[in-house]
A and B are shown apart, each in its own frame.
Chain A
């Protein structure tokens, strides 16, 4: 059965408006990121490969990284080696990672909530308990996954520390 034209047009608009709104929000966020990267006053940055990765592949995008990138490539010639003991460095590494995870989780959650609330009040009043589900659903996901991620990270680090052949591990034999 063919729906009446007025009903079909209304349904089309209902589907189109949220899609266009979502697209515009996403594009605005990407444009903001690009503007921050390439704005005239932005400092030129150097690419920092992650652990276990080689140099950036040609054509893999602009070489951009954080200001502390130079530290990852080792100290400059003539500089004193870091005085922190390995245990202290591991602790500070864990604290840094925890800080980054917490800031990412909190920032991502707040950004999603802001987008959902703006979408609900500005674009389409979705029926049902949309807002309540938007607040509690991602919280449930965060509550489930964050402990798992922390446990997996801890196990990975522990396995790496006790790897045979690594200096300081029980299975290591000095030559």
Chain B
């Protein structure tokens, strides 16, 4: 497995933490803070937004479940 500097992992942790913190504020009904659902709802009102979200979903699924995947019994 490749080794990377700690700062790279810390930046990912901060980014994900910020997402959850923002979602928490939105769920706590803080004025002016839309939740992730609100944001997706706005995006999905438009065909291009739906295509982009579906493409993102396909890309994630492709990376997580298909790339580098092998049959269990393959030699």
Q: Which residues from A are CB-within-8-Å of B31?
A: 58-59
Q: Which of A58, A66, A134, A137 interacts with B45 by CB under 8 Å?
A: A66
Q: Is A32 an interface residue, CB under 8 A from the partner?
A: yes
Say whether chain A's binding surface is mostly helix, strand, loop, or mixed. Answer: helix
**Closest-CB distance, A87 to chain B (whole angstroms):** 28
**Closest-CB distance, B67 to chain A (whole angstroms):** 6
Q: Which residues from B are CB-within-8-Å of A108?
A: 50-55, 57-58
Say whether chain B's binding surface is mostly helix, strand, loop, or mixed. Answer: helix
Q: Which residues from B are CB-within-8-Å of A36?
A: 46, 48
A residues 84-106 near B (Cβ < 8 Å) are 103-105
The residue in chain A whose Cβ has the minimal distance to the Cβ of B37 is A60
- What is A's interface to B at a CB cutoff of 8 Å? 29, 32-33, 36-37, 50, 56-62, 64-66, 103-105, 107-112, 115, 133-134, 137-138, 140-142
